[in-house]
Structure 1
Amino acid sequence: MTTMLAIFGPLLMGGAFGFLLQRGKVTSCNVIENQFRLRDFTVLKVMGTAIVVGGIGVLLLIDTGNSKYYVKDANILGVALGAALFGVGMVVYGYCPGTALGAIASGSVHALVGALGMVAGAILYALSFDWLKSHVLNVWKLGKIRLPDITGVPDAAWFVGLAVCAALFFWWIESRGARKA
């Protein structure tokens, strides 16, 4: 039974994820491009909801003892450069990795071509990792820290704050959209 769950569990979760991306309309490059044009906030709402729900799920798993945090080094320069590269790639490509796979599954050929570019980028990153590790990843290296460790504010308070901020932002977006219509 455990083997079956290990095989079919991820397939079921991946299928559900792809279905929800398709239902949320974020497998369309037009929706993602319009997010960056500040015309359509569907991507922000879908991802914000996923972050809040996923964060609360992780917090529950940690608090019940069913999981534990694996904290990676906070390499601020590497994160900043990676985020900038990811953002530029997302604007040019029109997809993030998850939405690209959803678009490919729904028959998008240009998403497939772009995904090959993502694979090429991953290979280049792997080939240049030693140089990046010595020249980029050790700049602003803060070690294995989290915001609750730095601030002394408990995890639950961070998630409640995040959920409240997301709800207020979503309400603001929706209220502005209703005024324009």
Structure 2
Amino acid sequence: MASFDFDAARRWARFDPGHTLARRDDAALPFADEGELAGSALLLDTCVYIDRMQGRAPAVVSGLISTRQANHSTVAVQELMHTVGVLRPEDPRSADVIGAIERQIKAMPDHRLFEPDAEVLGRAALLAGMLCRLQGYRDDGRLKALQDSVLFLQALKLGLTVLTANVREFDLLLQLVPAGRVLLYRKA
């Protein structure tokens, strides 16, 4: 990680507002609007794939994906494959879910699938650690914070906007790193 500035990271990690961060009012957050579909290229959060597979994605999500360039992260691939691993093979519904996930992953064009680099991974670990400290996250919350931080910082580095329904999590990330770009939506 030759490009990773450990001293700057250590200074950044000292950030302490003296309280847990609170979720802001919706009016202060960047929610997607069907009247404003054009804009920067997107990096899709895992929830976008899941919501679309389950028919819970609102029309604005389809509009954004068809209007803007949609990009994918290996973070989402990892989370989707985790789902495949936890499904019970004996459950008759598992085969359909696995098939839907397979189709989603195979539909991701190689030239639109991005891997986070060492700098993003290092900074995301630091950011997730800060969130865990500030918010008191434990167990699964820690892993979720890490995955969200990687996706958020990967999008920032690539100049992309994260599309997500994870309002609370990405609001907190935007509070810590206001330069990030996120478009939020509510599930249908």
Question: Normalized against structure 1, the TM-score is what?
Answer: 0.26
Where relative contact order (Cα < 8 A, 6+ residues apart) is larger, the structure is 2
Structure number with the higher helix fraction is: 1
Max Rg structure: 1
